[in-house]
Structure 1
Amino acid sequence: MTGESEPEVTADVLGTLVVRVDGVPVSLGHTRQKAVLVVLLTEAGQVVPPDRLIERVWGERPPSRARSVLRTYLSHLRRALAGTGITITWRGTGYLVTAGPGTVDLHRFRRLLTEARSTDDPWRASALADEALGLWRGEPLAELDTPWAHSTREHLRREHAAARADWIDWALTCGRHGELVPELLTRATDDPLDERLAGQLMLALYYEGRQADALEHYQRTRRQLAEELGTDPGPALQDLHHRILSADSSLVIPESRPARESGPAAVPRQLPAPPLPFVGRRDELEHLDAVFTTAGPGATVVISAIAGAGGIGKTWLALHWAHRHIDDFPDGQLFVDLRGFSPDGEAMNSAAAVRGFLDALGVEPGRLPADLHAQAALFRSLVAGKRMLIVLDNAADTGHVSALLPGGRSCTVLVTSRNRLTGLVAGHGAQHFPLDLLTKGEALALLRSRLGADRVDAEPEAVADLLASCGRFPLALGIAAGRARTQPALSLASLAAELAELGLGALDSDDPGASVPAVLSWSLRALAPQEATAFALLSAAPGPDIGLPAATSLLALSPEQTHRTLQALVDASLLDRDVQGRYTMHDLIRAYATTLTSAVPEPERQAALDRVVDFYLQSAVNADRLLDPHRAPIRLGSPSSGVRPQPMADLPDALAWLDVHHPHLLAAQHVAARLHRDQKVWHLAWALSTFHGRRGHRHDKFAVWRAALDAAGRLHDPVARIFAHRLLGSAHAELQRHSNAIEHLHQALDLAQAHGDRLQQARTYDTLAWAWARQGDPGLALENSRYALELFRALEQPVWEANALNTVGWYAAQLGDYDTARNHCEAALTLHRRHQDLDGEAEALDSLGFIDHHTGRHHEALNFYEQSVALFRALGNTVEVARVLDGTGHPHLALGRPTLALHAWREAMELYREQGRDSDAERIQRQLDHLENSVAAGHDSAC
């Protein structure tokens, strides 16, 4: 004998396969090789024939020469396992794995449960089951994805669930009802038809002194059984209900534990069961791993604050990570639900949590100091130097957890909260993990794991609708999956239709833990009144998000007060702030917030919406003045009190603001129309006209002016109606709806003539000219443009006169009268430059380029085109940039420069496509195809 002790060998298959010798992992090779060992360890002590082993490892698609590959894997595994006491041998018809008693966690799990179920001592049974359940570290047989693995995994899950249910019974008998209630509430949400679970929750609630809640849960279970299965609760649950109802004397609240014997205290293992199945969150898990690996047990305290909205999956992530790393904390794990956002509104105070931890660490009640600070100090002393994991779930704020933080350098702490706990990050060096929505792939995987791949894959369109309705929000997906799972005959298409029709109402439930509105309401209780009002008002703000300036006007607060209010909502995970500093609200949270607006008095709601609409209107007009300084202004009137319009520095600043806020301006017009603010409806359309023209938003231009015409019809303002008919006619023309265009333009002209408005007559003639040209009639276009020119001259409007001169010249050129065209366009260019009208100058340069190209002056044409493009680019007018580049290609081609023509046309085609100008893009594509074929065939020597 050498006197050396045998090495401690463990093999884990209840999670990712790990074989350890004295705590050190053994290298087992690649995943498929490990899968072979997983199958053998699962069947340890039994002979597994090669064909069965191949089927379980590879499923229906084994490799060619599978037996040869299997023998190679087994040879490598034997070498890797040498000295571990785990052997693989051939026994007559197959392979046999032999391992020491207690080596394989699965078999140890089953032996511990058998022993627990055979004892009459509930405290011993509870301890044995606790140890058995502690062996689970995630998804069993994680290396395998075969039919056998799926079937075995499902069987193991049922074993785990049965073990957990037995443990709960024993724990209730041992007086541990207080710590069980949070877990039982969660489990009852996931499986509302489990009568045994319902009974356990009722009993725990009753022991907690919550008889009414226990009876209410019975009624909820009874209703769901009747609705879903058409049956009543079984005799056992009915009997328990009667006993609770009558406060039966047999329901004696058990003592928390028998008298302790002398000796070392048990290692606390308070972690609730790991979430099964758990999907996604790979990046977050890797981030947590990285933090833990960098610091590591024994190095420093790692405090990770996992923040996110209610129902986003914070606790699931924390528990899943904790169970994956459970072996790294040999001195135990402490867990407490601090109920910071509890449905009953009563958070656990820090003193109760500290006492619970001291109790778990074996401190006799008589040794407990009376003072909280002394209790916290004792707690820190007991965990000092120990490698423990402390999970503080559902914290309200930093103060809620301060007394529960260890003082040494050996423990790891995970804190979950809906608040961001900035004090914990700043004061204790915590790592902050904001938790976001699931990815599309993760959301789909969650549904597949809950409902089965076959059911999900059979209705892909319905699944896509479900994912859209639930917004990749884990709680919402879980509720939808739970409803589908308890109603197997219900098609996913029917469920998706219900969600689409009822919205947030379809995700409501009598059970507060399984209701999106209820869970979100718990966050609301922690808000100050001003913050709660802001939350409701923000849900009605126009657009997909909101910036600080718009929010300042909406809430009628100072910028500083608004920032503090928004930050409070961000900290509560009810708002998100993106990298641009804009505030966004998840669709489900917005839907919930919308239900709260009725709590805000109607006059206050309308005043807030008036202010935010005024903010967008006044800011858009500021931007428009920079886009077109020569445009005649309209009378806006004073903005509402509390509105702070956005100042604009210059043209690029104005364009950038309009690009960002275009959807908000469209939404603001909808809000104004809903509030019957007709003047603001048409003013918003007016403020967007220049921008729409420069960016090519043709359909949006049509929509805003159609709304403006409806609003103008209710106003006693002929100018508003003339504008609306004229601009709506222009929008029709851009969309090739020629008869509608001419009809609206003639109505605008008739109104202008009837009211003696010569300026509007002139502008309508100018638009009519353009509309006839779009319809392919340059003769009528020239005729109407001449009418416009005469009126502008008579009105002494030099900029508009210059526009009309260019228009006459352009249509004359279309008809081949190049001398008339050049004279008018040169006069226009001179007038535009005199009045520093860059837009008009660029238009005139484009016209002169066209004229010179068609009169054989190709070099001069290119010079004009290049100047025009440069000006339009500076003005941000991508619509005209595309059109001028379209023209530029022709003189390049005429001069034997096909490469330059190709460059110009390719850019023009890309811009046409971005602007939705499909017919122009197709025409350019044909030109490019012809030119590229010619170049490829060598027809053009310039190439």
Structure 2
Amino acid sequence: MGIDLVLLSGVSYRGQEVAGHRMRGLLALLAGELRTGCGTSRLVDGLWPDEPPANPVKAVQVLVSRARAQLGAGVIASTATGYRLALDEDQVDSSAVLVRAAAGTRQLRAGDQSAALAHAEAGLALWDGAVSDGAGGYDPVADLRSERTAAHRSLVRIRALALARLGRHGEAVDPLTALAAELPRDEEVLLELLRSEAATAGASAALARYETYRRALRDELGIDPGAALQAAYKLLLDGDTPAVRHGVAAEPNQLLGRDEDLAAVAAMARRSRVTSIVGPGGLGKTRLANAVGRNAEQRVVYVVPLAGVATDEEVVRQVASVLGAGELRLAHLPVPPDPLTGIGAALGPGPALLILDNCEHVIGGVAELVQALVSTLPSCTY
């Protein structure tokens, strides 16, 4: 179902321009209360704010009759107290942008960046955010547009964040820069801007932006940036060190049709210390996990296969063996460390990603190991 009533960029119904200041105002007022409609007194106040007609009820009836004659008898329905538009949300652009903004926000939070981007671009295609209508005095159309500017800003933000999280940094950097100027304390925007700026202009530009933000925050509020920003800053500082990719399988051929899955898992890994990929055998979980590891933001990534492990008790020893933890000697210990301590030392203090593959048959041992590591290694993701 397409848009029938346009109010945000011009005023038209099914492609035909709606003439008359009060006719346009009537449609805007009813569109602003699409679900409930407007009472007659509300319409009188909105359409004749300075000098009400001698017979307000009759004046509204005449205007509605003219609108029905021009647009169709079924467009405006009568209610117990007034009138409402007999249209759905996706038929009126001023409601459709709200629906798109809400859906885009949900998908962004769920980690489905492709769906979030689609909603944002569909909403932005309806309106460029311009408010001025050129009419003097109080104008319900201009007022409706003003009320929808928050939804437009939300759509712009959703689009920029989704582009960045999909790896389309060149397209994301300019809108993110504009958003950061408009929303200087939005750390979610700033985080993606740092990543996009590092990918397009280099780590030094992103580091300089972070430092400017950190100083402003300390000077104005006496606080430090949030944990996610600090972690991104550390990654940028470590950008010149070689990346460790241990056990990550090479791609035998191009991975097709999994872009949304890759983006979703990467987004979940940013929000949570522990992420699980589940599904029936043969679905491609191992290949997806390796692709995530290959593209991970963390400098250190280990993939540990557990298919050959028979019992829960063997999980720690297998992980320690793959990480080379059994070969470590810690300077302050006279004897080799226990396997758990050795695993922690192998992963190191910086950001790291540990991927445990084929866990279902030893899930108890894996859960116990991950619980122990989460509590001792705050910079590691699993």
Q: TM-score, normalised by structure 2?
A: 0.54
Cα pair 1:28 1:77 within 8 Å, conserved: no
| Aligned residue number for residue 37 of structure 1 | 27
SS at match of 2:78: strand
Q: Structure 1 residues 130 and 144 mapped into 2: Cα distance closer, same or farther (>3 Å)?
A: farther
State the AA in 1 paired with 2:117.
S
| Aligned residue number for residue 18 of structure 2 | 28
| Aligned residue number for residue 909 of structure 1 | none
| Aligned residue number for residue 50 of structure 1 | 40
Q: CA separation in 2, counterparts of 1:27 and 1:152? A: 18
| Aligned residue number for residue 76 of structure 1 | 66
1:672-719 deviation per Cα after TM superposition (whole angstroms, max 9, x unaligned): xxxxxxxxxxxxxxxxxxxxxxxxxxxxxxxxxxxxxxxxxxxxxxxx
Cα pair 2:214 2:224 within 8 Å, conserved: yes
TM-fit CA distance, 1:148 = 7.7
Cα pair 2:97 2:152 within 8 Å, conserved: no
Which runs of 5 or more structure 2 residues have no equivalent in the other structure?
A: 245-253, 259-382
State the AA in 2 paired with 1:132.
G
1:52-100 deviation per Cα after TM superposition (whole angstroms, max 9, x unaligned): 22333444x24333444332222211111117xx611211012111114
1:586-607 deviation per Cα after TM superposition (whole angstroms, max 9, x unaligned): xxxxxxxxxxxxxxxxxxxxxx
| Aligned residue number for residue 225 of structure 2 | 233
2:86 counterpart of 1:98? yes
TM-fit CA distance, 1:101 = 5.6
Q: CA separation in 1, counterparts of 2:228 and 2:96? A: 32
Q: Structure 1 residues 120 and 219 mapped into 2: Cα distance closer, same or farther (>3 Å)?
A: closer
Q: Structure 1 residues 112 and 184 mapped into 2: Cα distance closer, same or farther (>3 Å)?
A: closer
| Aligned residue number for residue 12 of structure 2 | 18
SS at match of 1:178: helix
SS at match of 1:161: helix
Q: CA separation in 2, counterparts of 1:28 and 1:149? A: 12
SS at match of 2:91: coil
| Aligned residue number for residue 579 of structure 1 | none
| Aligned residue number for residue 89 of structure 1 | 77
Cα pair 1:57 1:144 within 8 Å, conserved: no
2:114 counterpart of 1:126? no
Q: Structure 1 residues 236 and 100 mapped into 2: Cα distance closer, same or farther (>3 Å)?
A: same
**Equivalent residue pairs, number:** 242
SS at match of 2:128: coil
SS at match of 1:89: strand
Cα pair 2:7 2:141 within 8 Å, conserved: no
Q: Structure 1 residues 201 and 172 mapped into 2: Cα distance closer, same or farther (>3 Å)?
A: same
Q: Structure 1 residues 51 and 238 mapped into 2: Cα distance closer, same or farther (>3 Å)?
A: farther
CA RMSD in angstroms comes to: 3.5
Q: Structure 1 residues 154 and 220 mapped into 2: Cα distance closer, same or farther (>3 Å)?
A: farther
Q: Structure 1 residues 243 and 228 mapped into 2: Cα distance closer, same or farther (>3 Å)?
A: same
Q: TM-score, normalised by structure 1?
A: 0.23
Matches within 5 A, 1:322-721: none
1:109 is aligned, of 90, 97, 106, to: 97
1:91-112 deviation per Cα after TM superposition (whole angstroms, max 9, x unaligned): 1012111114621112222333
* Larger relative contact order (Cα-Cα within 8 Å, sequence gap ≥ 6): 2
1:137 is aligned, of 121, 128, 150, to: 128
Matches within 5 A, 1:259-298: 259=256
Q: CA separation in 2, counterparts of 1:15 and 1:102? A: 16
Q: CA separation in 1, counterparts of 2:199 and 2:123? A: 26
1:244-267 deviation per Cα after TM superposition (whole angstroms, max 9, x unaligned): 3334979xxxxxx98469xxxxxx
Larger fraction in helix: 1
Q: CA separation in 2, counterparts of 1:210 and 1:13? A: 43
Name the % identity: 24
Q: CA separation in 1, counterparts of 2:220 and 2:125? A: 34
Q: Structure 1 residues 48 and 197 mapped into 2: Cα distance closer, same or farther (>3 Å)?
A: same
SS at match of 1:233: coil
| Aligned residue number for residue 351 of structure 2 | none
Q: Structure 1 residues 148 and 234 mapped into 2: Cα distance closer, same or farther (>3 Å)?
A: farther
Q: CA separation in 1, counterparts of 2:69 and 2:185? A: 50
Matches within 5 A, 1:811-850: none
Q: Structure 1 residues 137 and 71 mapped into 2: Cα distance closer, same or farther (>3 Å)?
A: farther
| Aligned residue number for residue 63 of structure 1 | 52
1:199-253 deviation per Cα after TM superposition (whole angstroms, max 9, x unaligned): 2211211233611111111122233334555554344433332333334979xxx
Cα pair 2:90 2:96 within 8 Å, conserved: yes
Q: Structure 1 residues 148 and 108 mapped into 2: Cα distance closer, same or farther (>3 Å)?
A: closer
Q: CA separation in 2, counterparts of 1:169 and 1:120? A: 11
Which runs of 5 or more structure 1 residues have no equivalent in the other structure?
A: 1-6, 251-256, 262-943
| Aligned residue number for residue 268 of structure 2 | none
Q: CA separation in 2, counterparts of 1:89 and 1:144? A: 29
2:158 counterpart of 1:166? yes
Q: CA separation in 2, counterparts of 1:217 and 1:185? A: 11
Q: Which of 1 and 2 has greater Rg?
A: 1
SS at match of 1:102: helix
Cα pair 1:45 1:98 within 8 Å, conserved: no
Q: CA separation in 2, counterparts of 1:9 and 1:112? A: 13
| Aligned residue number for residue 179 of structure 2 | 187
SS at match of 1:125: helix
